[in-house]
Structure 1
Amino acid sequence: MSPARTAEGGTASGAAHPVTLRDAYRVRMRRAALTLCGLAVAALLGPAGTAVAAPRPRLVALSSVDSTIIQDIRYATPHNFTGRVVPGYQAPLCLLTAPAARALHRVQQNLTRRGYSLKVYDCYRPQRAVDRFVAWSRDSGDRTMKAEFYPEVDKSRLFDKGYIARRSGHSRGSTVDLTIVKLPAPPTRTYRPGEPLASCYAPRAQRFPDASIDMGTGFDCFDERAHTLDPRITGTAHADRLWLKRLMEKAGFTGIPEEWWHFTYRREPYPDTYFDVPVSPASAMT
């Protein structure tokens, strides 16, 4: 009859390589360490295994790549669809991955030769800002900015219509919202909370003045008129949208049909990672 096996796989009779209490302790500690490691990895994964919060992306300040591109970072001000400065925007700063910033520089060189400039509304967006958008959408009582940004859409339907999502390509660092302005561009005046609001699809002269060429709607217009090829947008506004689209695609960006201002650099460095570092000078690489 063979010797009895111990719980850790040795023999009770002192056969070769018996497992001592010290050996068993080491095995248990190794297993515990592996379990903790697995839990740490899982904590960085979303429901489908996609990383959602890596600690520090490699981002650059757009101004360090091209200081001539105009910045009007709306979520660092109360002039956005929430009516408040959005959490995570500690400075009115455009941060992007270096390849996306260099691609924008190429677009800017093309435009400045013609007397125009890019103007960016939003660049990298931390996940905490996206979370704030989700919470805002559930607050049915807060309609402060409805008259400008979503005059014909019930707030409860913003998710269904795709205007707000729980994750945004902006959080990957290579997506940008932008327009074109004629040079010399007048400075954008400060929005005064509580001032009368004009619909985002009102005639250009009636909308909030931000020096953009005529794109048919303002930025962040939650309306089908903001779709790049909406048939109601004709003439100069239609031509201006297509001009922006061609310029961005030539530089390696891809737009989306629903928002004329939204573009993602195709060869983005972090295609599956959503970051949550704040928008601040400290988050930029030096």
Structure 2
Amino acid sequence: MKKIIIPLFIVLFAACKEKHDKQESPPDGFNDSVAIKDTVVKTEVEEPEPELLSLDDVADTAFVRLRDYSRDFVYDMKYATEDNFLKTKVYDCAECYVRAKTARALIAANTELMVKGYRIKFFDCYRPHDVQKKMWKIVPNPQYVANPAKGSIHNKGGAVDITLVDKEGKELDMGTGFDFFGKEAHHDYTKHPKKILENRKLLKETMEKHGFWGIRTEWWHYNLTSASNSKVTNFRWDCE
């Protein structure tokens, strides 16, 4: 009798162990670390944007970075890329600096435009005098680049090159691209379709209302009238 019981016990034990191993053993190719990793939900915490600064106590002649005072503008700083008529990058990094009094006027103009569903987009802002010299060396033609011997209002922190975008960020059709040097870019060219002329008029009238004036040959260029007597400077900003 004992000889029969012992083999049965062994068989039952082996069967139970095999069943247990099948339940506990992971399938082929199973990776514990992957399984654990996959159960972890990754959450990325965005750093809050720094608080905007106030222009209230900033001297009119001080240089300010516009995005520190407003988040409502759009930027495409062409001369920090090779996408410009020079075909050369002349800024170390893309930043828009202007004099504080220019910044105040730009914010006021943009606030008015936003009520109508538009925003200002920048192509160029303050331009250090050394950059003006670099541009002149590439294209020494006063028709396209201001002679650094005299300087440009860009070098004074009082000029900007701009256009308008809609709520989706799409540029309004102004008839030509930025830095197009032809009669079609002139303010007094009236052969464009009505909508283009209306777009230019909106930009021009709004900027003039807030103290800017344009130049006849460039629909995108605006100077702050009160900045015309400022000094040409070579203020340089640090790249982050």
TM-score after normalising by structure 1: 0.58
Equivalent residue number for residue 277 of structure 1: 235
Shift of 1:238: 1.1
Equivalent residue number for residue 212 of structure 2: 253
Q: Give the structure with the larger helix fraction.
A: 2
**Residues 224, 258 of structure 1: 8 Å contact kept:** yes
Structure number with greater Rg is 2
Aligned counterparts of 2:137 and 2:234: Cα–Cα separation in 1: 17
Equivalent residue number for residue 178 of structure 1: 162
Equivalent residue number for residue 138 of structure 2: 136
What is the Cα-based RMSD across aligned positions, in Å?
A: 1.7
Among 41, 56, 71, the alignment partner of 1:67 is: 71
Aligned counterparts of 2:113 and 2:229: Cα–Cα separation in 1: 28
Aligned counterparts of 1:65 and 1:223: Cα–Cα separation in 2: 35
1:72-83 map, 5 Å: 72-83=76-87
Q: Does 1:123 align with 2:81?
A: no
SS in structure 1 of the partner of residue 220 of structure 2: strand
Equivalent residue number for residue 28 of structure 2: none
Aligned counterparts of 2:158 and 2:238: Cα–Cα separation in 1: 17
Equivalent residue number for residue 100 of structure 2: 98
Equivalent residue number for residue 144 of structure 2: 163
Aligned counterparts of 2:70 and 2:223: Cα–Cα separation in 1: 18
Aligned counterparts of 2:64 and 2:230: Cα–Cα separation in 1: 19
Q: Does 1:265 align with 2:224?
A: yes
Higher relative contact order (CA 8 A, sep 6+): 1
Aligned counterparts of 1:123 and 1:235: Cα–Cα separation in 2: 29
Higher mean C-alpha displacement, 73-82 vs 224-233: 224-233
Shift of 1:272: 4.4
Aligned counterparts of 1:259 and 1:76: Cα–Cα separation in 2: 20
- The count of residues paired between Structure 1 and Structure 2 equals 177
Aligned counterparts of 2:100 and 2:191: Cα–Cα separation in 1: 37
1:17-28 map, 5 Å: none
Shift of 1:276: 1.4
Q: Tell me which amino acid in the other structure corresponds to 2:223.
A: T
Higher mean C-alpha displacement, 104-113 vs 168-177: 104-113
Q: Tell me which amino acid in the other structure corresponds to 2:179.
A: D
Identity level (%): 33
What are structure 1's unaligned runs of at least 5 residues? 1-56, 139-157, 186-210
Q: Tell me which amino acid in the other structure corresponds to 2:144.
A: Y
1:173-212 map, 5 Å: 173-185=157-169, 211-212=170-171
Aligned counterparts of 2:165 and 2:80: Cα–Cα separation in 1: 20
Aligned counterparts of 1:121 and 1:279: Cα–Cα separation in 2: 17
